[in-house]
Amino acid sequence: MKSAVAIFTLSSSLSSVLAASYSRSENIVGAGFYNAFKFEAISDLTHGRLDSRVNYVDKVTAQSQNLTFATRDTFILRADSKTVISDSSSVGRNSVRIRSNNAYTTVQDVFRFDIVHRPQGCGWETNEATWPAGGGVDIIEGVNDHGPNQITLHTNPGCTMSNRVQTGTTLLTDCDVNIAGNSGCGVNVGTPPSFGPTSLPLAVDGMYAIERTPAFISVWFWPRAAGNVPADVRAGGAAVNTGNWRGVPAANFSNTNCNMNQFFSAHNIIINLTFCGDWAEPNFSTCPTTCSAVS
């Protein structure tokens, strides 16, 4: 994964219900990720280690094995693609999971993710907030070669979504982690292609933005070559104004039946590359065999 992250905080006196202007408070690019994030050599929370298929490594190991490196304007994360893992192995394939040092608690924030290349193939990639305590937002999530991208909220019981305006397709409306096997209230981002081999190019090159307020959580996606990328997003400057963004979000979660302040607390940014696990294991129809066999 090659990416950059910019965080913007509210810089206007507009009501949180309205689009607003935001000033950049952080800009994480290239080697700056090493100062802004920590590598987590922990057990896989998606149960990818159940069959010993993933082994998260620390920063030193990741750098020594070329699983991460950075240039002036690019940050790379990837999993080991060379080691042969036998069924009897007690250690899975080396991979990476990083968490932002900062937890973001500002009343209103916008996060801009500029992604040049994303992994493709059999596995499970996520870019998420802390889950499920304090709520979680899966901004970029997909498994194997299955598209499209899925944007999902995960909460404690009591948060549901009503009809709302968005370009994505609603999957479930109850965000409770105890419902439907922890599926959450997801939205498929089907147009334009946003995940898997049908994306443009094969591993999506584009930008995501998430706006979080007490009234709503909205997520946008723009392929880099698209003509509707907002000028302030494409420029990567010091401010953005969501009121000037044309169209509607890919996913829009309102507070109509979900008190955002109650269900969502401070969030860290997590970038994670795993194999198999609860979701990826049964979804292997576009892979040559089972997830475990190819991981």
- Beta strand ranges found along the chain (DSSP E): 2-10, 21-28, 37-39, 54-56, 68-70, 75-77, 93-95, 97-100, 109-117, 124-128, 136-143, 149-154, 169-170, 185-189, 206-212, 216-223, 239-241, 251-254, 270-274
pLDDT in tens, 220-275: 998 888 888 999 999 988 999 998 998 899 999 999 999 999 999 888 888 888 87
> Which domains are present in the chain?
2-294 (2.60.120.200)
57 has a pLDDT exceeding 90: yes
Residue 65 Rama label (left phi>0; alpha psi -120 to 50; beta): alpha
Burial (CB count within 10 angstroms: exposed 0-12, middle 13-18, buried 19+), residue 163 = exposed
Provide, rounded to the nearest whole percent, the portion of the chain with pLDDT above 70: 70
Looking at residue 171, its pLDDT comes to 94
Question: CB neighbours of 267 closer than 8 A, spacing ≥ 6?
Answer: 103, 104, 129, 130, 134, 135, 136, 137, 212
Q: Which of 93, 79, 96, 84 is nearest to 51 (CA)?
A: 93
Alpha-carbon gap, residue 3 to 262, rounded angstroms = 31
Q: Which residue has the higher pLDDT, 225 or 177?
A: 177
Q: Which of 119, 65, 141, 127 is nearest to 99 (CA)?
A: 127
Alpha-carbon gap, residue 183 to 178, rounded angstroms = 8
Alpha-carbon gap, residue 145 to 125, rounded angstroms = 11
Looking at residue 49, its pLDDT comes to 43
How many residues make up the chain in this entry? 295
pLDDT in tens, 93-151: 899 999 999 988 666 788 888 887 655 544 333 445 555 668 889 888 755 455 578 89
74 has a pLDDT exceeding 60: yes
Q: Which residue has the higher pLDDT, 194 or 186?
A: 186
Looking at residue 113, its pLDDT comes to 85
The CA R_g of the chain, rounded to the nearest whole Å, is 18
pLDDT in tens, 149-163: 889 999 999 999 999
**Rounded mean pLDDT, 200-226:** 81
Q: Which of 28, 92, 22 is nearest to 271 (CA)?
A: 28
pLDDT band at 50, cuts 50/70/90?
very low
Which two tokens mark 67? 């699983």
Looking at residue 250, its pLDDT comes to 94
Per the prediction, the chain carries an average pLDDT of 79
Alpha-carbon gap, residue 118 to 126, rounded angstroms = 10
Strand order in the sheet with 136-143: 37-39, 97-100, 270-274, 124-128, 136-143, 149-154, 185-189, 169-170
Which two tokens mark 152? 């999902």
177 has a pLDDT exceeding 60: yes
Question: CB neighbours of 235 closer than 8 A, spacing ≥ 6?
Answer: none
Residue whose token pair is 């050599």: 41
**Rounded mean pLDDT, 72-83:** 90
